[in-house]
Amino acid sequence: MMKEPVFTVQPNSCVFCVGVKGTGMSALAELLLNAGVRVSGSDTSDVFYTDAILKELGVPYVETFDAAHIHDGIDFVVYSAAYSPETHPELLEASRRGIPLFKYTDALGAYSANFDSSGIAGVHGKTTTTALAGALLKGARLPARILAGSATSVFNGRSTLSLGNTYFVAETCEYRRHFLSFHPKRIVLTSVESDHQDYYPTYESIRDAFVEYGRNLPPSGELVYCADDEGACEVAETLRKEKRGIVFTPYGFTARGDFRIKSFSVENERLVFELNAFAEPFTLRVPGRHNALNAAAALALVSSIARAENRAAGVNAVSMTKAQLEGARRGLERFCGSKRRSEIIGEKNGVLFMDDYAHHPTAIKTTIEGLKTFYPNRRLIVSFMPHTYTRTAALLDEFAAAFDGADALLLHKIYASARETYSGGVTGRTLFEKIETIKKAEYAAHAREIWYVEEPLDAVPLVKATLKAGDLFLTMGAGDNWKLGKALLEGA
């Protein structure tokens, strides 16, 4: 029986990336380059923020897909899940030549086996938590590499940060169980609830996937989990009953132990919070109680990594040394968020423009609540574009209740996913009609408004006539309605 090919990271080997402009793929390309691998790739001609990064790195890529791009000098082909080996011309040609094919997630998993690796997972918060962990690791000067699911200023506008070769911290995705390829010594679990209904039809099915991921931890591995999240607690309890020798570290407002948030406040557009483990409070410049939770998760993870590093160096420290803690604290204070996570894109005529990726009712609700607390004197106008028909249909009631904190709401069509097709059911207008029906009296009583404009850019005249100095205009969702905020900011 032939052995399955194994993706290996070797200097001077040649890797071709199909879909190289993707956030994850371009980040993996950078990590491979840092390991001495020769990287090239292909993608569409659409312009992404990663174009500039790839050019700066010197990664050659073509903006077409053609079998002629594949040659025998290539050792491995890594491809985005958006492309099928059964139909894509480059993947078909690689198979014909006997060149091993690896999904992006499988290649990332193989890469993780080379390090003391930590995976950050959860339905919500994993990108920000990963970016926060990177800020703390950088401040504490710990020898790690970090890969987040979005660009962040702490990473110089990229999705990766290379600080050394001992530890690897990566955002790991639950969709289609992609995270099962990862080799973690630690897992941070931020949240578990129903999502990705096209693949996980029930809450139990997605919960069980997270349990399966937890079983990837070795004996003495560590699960850092949110004690305030029912699903995360359920996963932790299931793994605890299996007596695998895992260390369980809870964090949050209801947690017991070192990473309990014992105080929380908002002062001068800063979050201020205290943890049991540390004598002094921490400050954070991004809004929302949920970001205090994300920061607590990152602090728990980095404390564990620091403890491992200090033990290896013969330093007797419970977690971080004084110098590491001071550096981590400064790193947290400098953190300004990640791309599309409460990202301030500009200000014009007294209106603050912001963009956020939240596309699940829970994330929408917590983000809006955080912004209203952070900016109490600003009127909040939200533009929301639903993402996927299955999610919108399955969580329609939850979506209808998620925008209660907004002062005005603009809804758009559903942003279709490549993994599903419209079957004639729920649309963006369905959500609009649902909210308009059940919230009509409430909206009237508080002079709140709700509109529906199918295409985001068609709403420019309406929004321009609505906005006034002091407002906060927020584009929200996993679609492309961010273009609306950009157009308004640039004077369309």
Question: How confident is the model at residue 1, as a pLDDT?
Answer: 45
Q: What is the pLDDT of residues 403-444, one digit of tens each?
A: 988 999 999 999 876 666 666 688 889 998 988 887 777 766
Radius of gyration of the chain (CA): 23
Please name the amino acid found at residue 482: W
> Does residue 305 sit in the same domain as residue 353?
no
Query: Has residue 6 been placed in a domain?
Result: no
The residue from 71, 103, 135 where one domain ends is: 103
Query: Has residue 2 been placed in a domain?
Result: no
Does residue 492 register a pLDDT over 60? no
Collapsing DSSP to helix, strand or coil, 352 comes out as strand
Query: Has residue 474 been placed in a domain?
Result: yes
> Does residue 405 sit in the same domain as residue 323?
no
Which residue has tokens 């004197």? 377
Query: Has residue 207 been placed in a domain?
Result: yes
> Does residue 225 sit in the same domain as residue 253?
yes
> Does residue 33 sit in the same domain as residue 165?
no
Q: What is the pLDDT of residues 205-253, one digit of tens each?
A: 999 999 999 999 999 999 999 999 999 999 999 999 999 999 999 999 9
Question: How confident is the model at residue 43, as a pLDDT?
Answer: 95
> Does residue 292 sit in the same domain as residue 310?
yes
Q: What is the pLDDT of residues 376-413, one digit of tens each?
A: 889 999 999 998 888 888 888 888 989 988 999 999 99
> Does residue 91 sit in the same domain as residue 157?
no
Q: With 0-12 CB in 10 A as exposed, 13-18 as middle and 19+ as buried, what is 326?
A: middle
Collapsing DSSP to helix, strand or coil, 288 comes out as coil
Give the single-character DSSP code of 338.
B
Query: Has residue 292 been placed in a domain?
Result: yes
The residue from 334, 356, 375 where one domain ends is: 334
Average pLDDT over residues 268-282: 92
Average pLDDT over residues 462-489: 92
Q: What is the pLDDT of residues 28-62, one digit of tens each?
A: 999 999 889 999 999 999 888 889 899 999 999 99
The residue from 311, 334, 357 where one domain ends is: 334
> Does residue 227 sit in the same domain as residue 90?
no
Q: What is the 3-state secondary structure (H, E, C) of 111-179?
A: HHCCCEEEEEECCCCHHHHHHHHHHHHHHHCCCEEEEEEEEEHHHCCEEEEECCCCEEEEECCCHHHHH
Reading across the β-sheet that carries 76-79, which strands appear in turn? 61-62, 38-42, 14-18, 76-79, 101-103
pTM: 0.78
What is the CB neighbour count within 10 angstroms for residue 61? 20
CATH code for position 201? 3.40.1190.10
Q: What is the pLDDT of residues 106-128, one digit of tens each?
A: 999 999 999 999 999 999 889 89
Collapsing DSSP to helix, strand or coil, 392 comes out as helix
CATH code for position 82? 3.40.50.720
Cα angle: 108, vertex 174, 354; to 5 degrees:
95
Average pLDDT over residues 442-470: 87
| Domain, as residue range, for 18 | 14-103
Distance CA 260, CA 251 (A): 5
- Which percentage of the chain shows pLDDT scores above 90? 60
> Does residue 288 sit in the same domain as residue 421?
no
- What is the helix (H) or strand (E) element at residue 266, kind and residue range? strand 259-266
Number of domains in the chain: 3
Q: What are the residues whose beta carbons fall under 8 Å from the beta carbon of 55, sequence distance 6 or more?
A: none
Average pLDDT over residues 163-175: 92
Query: Has residue 261 been placed in a domain?
Result: yes
Query: Has residue 7 been placed in a domain?
Result: no
Distance CA 95, CA 100 (A): 7
Does residue 460 register a pLDDT over 90? yes
Of 236, 271, 266, nearest to 251 (Cα)? 236
Q: What is the pLDDT of residues 297-319, one digit of tens each?
A: 999 999 999 999 999 888 876 78
Dihedral sign for Cα atoms in the order 481, 483, 486, 490:
negative
Asked whether the beta carbons of 412 and 465 are under 8 A apart, the reply is no
Q: Work out the mean pLDDT of the chain and round it to a whole number.
A: 90
> Does residue 324 sit in the same domain as residue 347?
no
